[in-house]
Amino acid sequence: MKVNQILPDKRQTILEVLYRSNGEPVSGVKISEATGISRVAVWKHIKALKQAGVDIKGLPTGYQLQDTGNLLYPFCFPTHLQEKIFHFPELDSTMDQARKIARQGLQHAGCVIAEVQTASRGRLNRPWASARGGLWFTLILKPDLPPPLAWTMNFAASACMAEVLAGLFDLDVRVKWPNDLLLKGRKLSGLLAEMETRADMVNFLFLGIGLNVNNEPESNQYQAISLKTALGKSVSRKQILIRFLDLFESRISSVDPARIISRWKERTGTIGSDVRVQTHDRVYEGKALDVDDSGALIVQGRDGITRKIIYGDCFHA
């Protein structure tokens, strides 16, 4: 069985038959013929798919797949992306699953997707809410980079996602140093990078991305927002992911830190803002002046001293 074929074979076939009908209902008889199982077995498999969150409507003329723009199974993607997609109905963490898949000898970049994450994490192991309707995925990358340049992947990814969302939905999405996306000053997306090294080079880089799409992350505890909330309607997660994967791959085909930083700055919401940056042992407050070609944040403190901050959590005042 292919590593990205994690549905039972019959359910995979049923979904493909429904998906390729272009929204038209498909009778139980036709599905039975395509799968080689009885109509009762077809009904049981469809029931299981619905319980897993797939929106399938039963009609007098057959079964109809709803909301195909939000299906993220490999066969829903263009041919050049299908072998890269690893879809799971539920995972503890796409980051942890990505590590397992990478160790199976993956030879190309991959994208591990979960409809729901039960133990997802953000920076500093903070919990990240990952309810159904969001876009939760981890990229498995094998960049030809030394560890000190691994940060370029984060900056490239956040700038690419901001660009994709601005282009698709005409939204003013801003990047926040070092790796968040903001919309109307609220958190729309977060990124988390983890890497494994071999000798003096990156062996694997795992880039986890959580994007609030059709979920409702707003609460008194978290200043978050989703695309659905901002736009007043649901949107296609598949369209977002296809655009992002294609753009990101083109941007990292030749790693140029200065160019990556330049594109990131075009989308910045941090430079020029009053910020509070928390490192492992200190808190710095002041104005963000710039991000240099090493990805470090340049902050002029309230004491008048300009500092270069390599790592930390940044909060806009």
Residue 117 annotated as binding site: yes
Among 242, 263, 241, which residue's Cα sits nearest to residue 252? Answer: 263
* Sign of the CA dihedral running 183, 53, 79, 81: positive
Residue 123 annotated as binding site: yes
- Is-contact 62 28, C-beta < 8 A? yes
Six token digits for residue 93: 């963490």
Residue 84 annotated as binding site: no
Among 156, 101, 144, which residue's Cα sits nearest to residue 295? Answer: 156
Six token digits for residue 202: 């990156």
Whole-number Å distance between alpha carbons of 143 and 205? 7
Phi, psi of 42 (to 5 degrees): -60, -45
Whole-number Å distance between alpha carbons of 182 and 204? 28
Q: Is residue 209 classed as helix, strand or coil in its secondary structure?
A: strand
Cis ω before 178 (30° cut-off from 0): yes
Residue 64 annotated as binding site: no
Length of the chain: 317
Residue 69 annotated as binding site: no
Q: What are the binding residues for biotin?
A: 117, 121-123, 187
Q: What are the binding residues?
A: 117, 121-123, 187
